A and B are shown apart, each in its own frame.
Chain A
Amino acid sequence: MVDLSDHAIIQRVLSGDVEAYARLVDRHYARCVRIAARILGNREDAEDAIQETFLRAFHALGDYEDRERFSAWLTSILVNQCRSQLARTRRREAVFPDVDPLDVDWTAGDGTGASPWPELEHALARLPADQREALVLKYADDLTYQEMARITGAGESALKMRVQRAFARLRALLREVPSV
């Protein structure tokens, strides 16, 4: 099958080929899981947010302008959905009041098994929501600070500070976790 660009697929969808949208879902789903599951801390909420994201993107496809990368545009919708989900579940400040992040299935999708960094996963899940979001966007999605600023609405310097604080907090959390 021809490997169409995101832009070409979008043009097909806009021409009425609704099934072509499945290729965009296939192409970007795993990345969305990586982002949403880390931001929200559980797969169920993440899948709800992702489903809503792809549906909203479909509805808004006519407004998408290709001067922006489709992946970044999709991520901006996803981040908004994750924030709404967090607000709905009242977990903005403490994402895991009842759920131990070590119980969340962080098994890799490539069949390589459980995470080799269980303490780190634990610490990441305990970061404040804004710091975790910044860290996820920077390292799970490889976004630039400029792209992160556009997506989150925060300034670049504020985002750099969040990432810096996230690392400081991670260090503190990792010192608290006894070695396995």
Chain B
Amino acid sequence: MSGLDVVDIHVRYGPLKVLNGVSLSVEDGRFMTLLGPSGCGKTTLLRVISGFSQPERGEIYIKGERVDQKPTYKRGIGLVFQNYALFPHMTVFDNVAYGLKMRKLSRPDIARRVKKVLELIRLSGYEDRLPRQLSGGEQQRVAMARALVIEPKILLLDEPLSNLDLKLRQHLRLEIKSIQSKTGVTTLYVTHDQMEALVMSDNIALLKNGIIQQVGTPTEIYEQPINRFVAGFVGEGNIFEGKLFQQEGSVVFLTDDELTIHVSEDRLTRIIHSDEKPVLCVRPEKISISEKSEGYVNTFQGEIEEIVYEGATVRYSVSLTPSRTILVIEQVVERAPMRALGDRVYVHWSPKNSGLVSET
């Protein structure tokens, strides 16, 4: 069963097409992240689903029921805002109870459900505080509680962690994910933070310029990006431009600066049969670096231009040709090997890690 279906949504602000035929489907109980750079239309899509913006055309279904003609308050959604939007003149209890009061529940029922949800977010005993007496992380959790307590058909979150500091963000990512699993609510989570998307989601939809680029599990998005934008936006990638040609019965990729790279079979046929210019993406952590060549395919010699020591990893910039520098990330398994700027090294990666993506 489908929790949320968005069908061919078009939104236009004057001459600007903000959403250009977006279709999306979230399975019931799943956690879908809408990921994209700012201005890609992800917040607009969220506002369309919640009913704050009217689409030019398109349909929205929540649990199979069409809602695009309904006002927000009849859609059965729970919404968590970037700035939390807690009512500043109400206590935590009143904030959380607000949606239940609107549903005209009895007082004992309200008290019971508020108590339960405050336990869930581990803020029991905070009932009488005002939002301004809470820390950012606590406000964020109250906002979650307020949205969850009405048992919405879908939960929509609009960059709920972007105002918090890194440590708290990392912690709350897991907390939100675990609350979502416990409640089993269908969730659409909007963010521009690729780490959040990878960590939290069952599925990620990548949006750019109002068009969905790719929908897939975090692994699919990371390991098999469909195009150059996805490859560049999620994680880091060394991007090579060039063309494909036959060599000794197999297909290889000849970069514009004349490196010959053996490629993965994954999307080969499709790329060959399309008119699109192929682009090669190699993740920096999939490249190994060593002092001597071990004779594998895809081994290139280069010179270390920059070393950034990050504790768990070391990042090297290695120049292969005068115009080509690639990024290599090495796990520090033993003690970090002593490499110096200007060292000659060999880099190598397996063909299955050089994934072809399309230009657009």
Report whether chain A binds chain B: no
Interface on A for B, CB 8 Å cutoff?
A: none
Interface, chain B (partner A; CB < 8 A): none
